[in-house]
Amino acid sequence: MIKRKTYSRQQVASMLRPFSDYATPELLDQLIDKCEVVEYARDTYIYKEGDVSRSVYCLFHGFVKIYLEVDGLSPQIVNILKGGDFFGYEAYIAEHNYATSCVAQAGAVVCSIPIDLIASVIETNPAIMHDILKHMTYTLFDSYYRYVRLTRKHMRGRLADVLLHFISRYGYETDGATLAISLSREELAGIANMTTANAIRTLSAFAAEGVLAVERRKIRVLSLDSLKEISMHN
């Protein structure tokens, strides 16, 4: 289910940076006029693997999950994006259909921008491509580091690493302790490269040790130092 959202032109221009910063006034008007802002219900697909790439997306609010489908295996979460992130541009740059699937978390507000407008912005100001490639390179390096950590650490260290990444990337709720993002045990297990049963047991062990408090999908960090110690020595 999706719901159309309305924002002022100034709000849309602000949220479409850096594209709006590089666009000419005429192109900026087109970006604002032709982009579509919608709110997606949880688990609603924004695009699916193999779909023709027609848009670049900006996440205004909330979270979306990027999945990679592998034959015979359950879908693997490869990234979770937060408000302010752009996505879907890899398919545009590669001139390829989407290689992943994108699914909304509850309340995700997403702006879709037609690819022909993005191409016009880049053609009139190629400097923006430097920003895009810089961001893609940072994302690639981060993926390398996370892959190495997930393949060389024990389960406790892997799960601690994932939780520390969540803290760094998404932050806390207003209480300053509860992770701002909530995932199912199966999703958390997939990100940490372990079975769901092992993820549940490891979370329970962390809770018994006073490192975390866990209630359904909510995880509250009771001892950040302990979580860092587990990451370092496991």
pLDDT digits (tens, 9 = 90+) for 101-122: 999 987 799 988 888 888 887 8
Q: Give the count of domains, the chain.
A: 2
Which of 56, 197, 178 minimizes the C-alpha distance to 129? 56
Instruction: Tell me the residue range of the domain where 90 lies.
Output: 2-125
Tell me, yes or no, whether 24 and 112 share the same domain: yes
Mean pLDDT, the chain, as a whole number? 85
Q: What is the pLDDT of residue 208?
A: 94
Provide the pLDDT for residue 120.
Answer: 82
The tokens for 184 are: 């199912």
Cβ 12 vs Cβ 27: under 8 Å: no
Q: What is the pLDDT of residue 2?
A: 56
Q: What is the CATH number of the domain that holds 32?
A: 2.60.120.10
Residue with the larger pLDDT of the pair 171 and 123: 171
Q: Report yes or no on 39 lying in a domain.
A: yes
User: Rounded distance, CA 210 to CA 214, Å?
Assistant: 11
Give the confidence band of 4 by pLDDT, cuts at 50, 70, 90. Answer: low
Average pLDDT over residues 30-51: 88
**Average pLDDT rounded to a whole number, residues 72-79:** 77
Residue 23 has pLDDT above 60, yes or no: yes
* pLDDT at residue 3, rounded to an integer: 61
Tell me, yes or no, whether 30 and 72 share the same domain: yes
Any domain includes 83: yes
Distance CA 14, CA 84 (A): 10
Say what the pTM is.
0.81
- Do 187 and 119 share a structural domain? no
pLDDT for 103 equals 92
- Judge whether residue 186 has pLDDT over 80: yes
The mean pLDDT value for 133-161 works out to: 79
**92, 117, 82, 108: CA torsion to nearest 10:** -110
Beta strands in the chain (DSSP E): 2-4, 36-40, 45-47, 55-61, 63-68, 76-82, 86-87, 101-104, 108-114, 212-215, 218-221
Question: Looking at the structure, do residues 48 and 100 belong to the same domain, yes or no?
Answer: yes
The better pLDDT of the pair 214, 15 is held by 214
Q: Which amino acid is at 89?
A: Y
Provide the CB-side half-sphere exposure for 186 (13 A, CA).
3
Please tell me the predicted confidence (pLDDT) of residue 72: 65
Domain shared by 78 and 183, yes or no? no
Looking at the structure, tell me whether residues 14 and 73 fall in a common domain: yes
